[in-house]
């Protein structure tokens, strides 16, 4: 029995080392993905569309073609801060997208309209993601305090076994919080990829971009999609690391 517990501990510790070693590559990947989005958007922002649509005009054309004339298009501050707000049925386009007549701007605007179409059609991942938003907002506020409490009680655990158990308990609650965030980032993946797929289809069907121009816009959209992929990977590694620490501590307490 002691041998089995020892073997289990060794396995968990090795797994923890492997998971922890993933952080640095993920941080580098995250930085590279962010740089790629900005550089590719900047590059294709210099490529004017043949039909001469602006980002806002392209968004309006796609919305009207899908019978969504009540969806508004507004400006928002910042760069690459474009988003769709389902609560107000508003497509918000950044300054770099709203007036620009580039292939990149039109692709980004169409992507946000893709989210509006998803919402209109009750696309399943969007419905799940929307329901998760309040849960994630709540658990996000709890995760860091729980980790800090776990750290404090871990220090006190050198003097009291009960304090160490409390530390493990709070760390376990932090794992639950990270689980919801991890689930949120996972559900975001099909939402974003599907929005891009819809955008590319609509751009061609509405005659806004040629197929060659859509290929250029796809370079920008694909780069943006990678940031969501690395976000999910990072959240998964964070959750697994905390979970492994909890399991290792519980094994020690049972040993």
Place of tokens 């958007």: 41
Residue pair 82/112 in contact by the 8 Å Cβ criterion: yes
Name the residue range of residue 197's domain. 2-48+122-254
Among residues 57, 112, 192, 213, which one is catalytic?
112
Identify whether 84 is part of a domain: no
- Mean pLDDT, the chain, rounded, equals 91
Identify whether 32 is part of a domain: yes
Q: Which residues contact 239 (CB under 8 A, 6 or more apart)?
A: 175, 178, 179, 181, 182
What is the pLDDT averaged over residues 4-18? 74
Q: What is the CA radius of gyration of the chain?
A: 23
Identify whether 113 is part of a domain: no
What is the pLDDT averaged over residues 58-83? 95
Which of 189, 174, 168 is CA-nearest to residue 139?
A: 174
Identify whether 166 is part of a domain: yes
Q: Is 205 annotated as catalytic?
A: no
| SS3 state at 23 | helix
The total of structural domains in the chain comes to 1
Per-residue pLDDT reduced to its tens digit, 209-231? 999 999 999 999 999 999 999 99
User: Is residue 5 scored above 80 in pLDDT?
Assistant: no
Q: Which two tokens stand for residue 190?
A: 């099909």
Which of 85, 74, 139, 113 is CA-nearest to residue 197?
A: 113
Identify whether 190 is part of a domain: yes
Exposure string for 34-64, b = 16+ CB within 10 A, e = fewer = bebbeebbeebbeeebebebbbbbbbbbbbe
Identify whether 224 is part of a domain: yes
Predicted confidence at residue 7, as pLDDT, reads 46
Per-residue pLDDT reduced to its tens digit, 155-198? 876 667 778 788 889 999 999 999 999 999 999 999 999 999 99
User: Model pTM?
Assistant: 0.87
Identify whether 198 is part of a domain: yes
Determine the length of the chain.
255
Identify whether 17 is part of a domain: yes
């Amino acid at each position: 029995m002691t041998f089995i517990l020892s073997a289990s501990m060794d396995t968990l510790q090795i797994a923890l080392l492997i998971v922890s070693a993933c952080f640095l590559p993920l941080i580098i990947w995250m930085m590279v993905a962010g740089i790629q989005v900005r550089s590719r958007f900047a590059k294709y922002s210099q490529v004017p569309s043949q039909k001469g649509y602006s980002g806002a005009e392209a968004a309006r054309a796609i919305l009207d073609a899908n019978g969504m004339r009540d969806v508004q298009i507004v400006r928002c501050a910042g760069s690459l801060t474009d988003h769709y707000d389902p609560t107000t049925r508003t497509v918000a386009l950044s300054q770099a997208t709203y007036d620009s007549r580039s292939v990149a701007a039109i692709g980004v605007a169409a992507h946000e309209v893709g989210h509006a179409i998803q919402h209109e059609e009750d696309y399943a991942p969007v419905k799940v993601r929307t329901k998760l938003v309040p849960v994630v907002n709540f658990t996000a506020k709890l995760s860091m305090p729980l980790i800090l409490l776990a750290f404090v009680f871990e220090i006190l655990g050198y003097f009291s076994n009960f304090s160490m158990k409390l530390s493990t308990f709070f760390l376990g609650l932090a794992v639950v919080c990270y689980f919801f965030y991890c689930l949120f980032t996972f559900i975001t993946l099909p939402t974003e990829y599907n929005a891009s797929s819809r955008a590319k289809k609509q751009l061609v069907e509405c005659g806004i971009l040629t197929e060659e121009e859509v290929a250029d816009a796809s370079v920008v959209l694909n780069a943006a999609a990678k940031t969501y992929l690395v976000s999910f990977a990072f959240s998964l590694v964070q959750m697994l690391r905390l979970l492994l620490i909890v399991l290792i501590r519980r094994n020690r307490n049972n040993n």
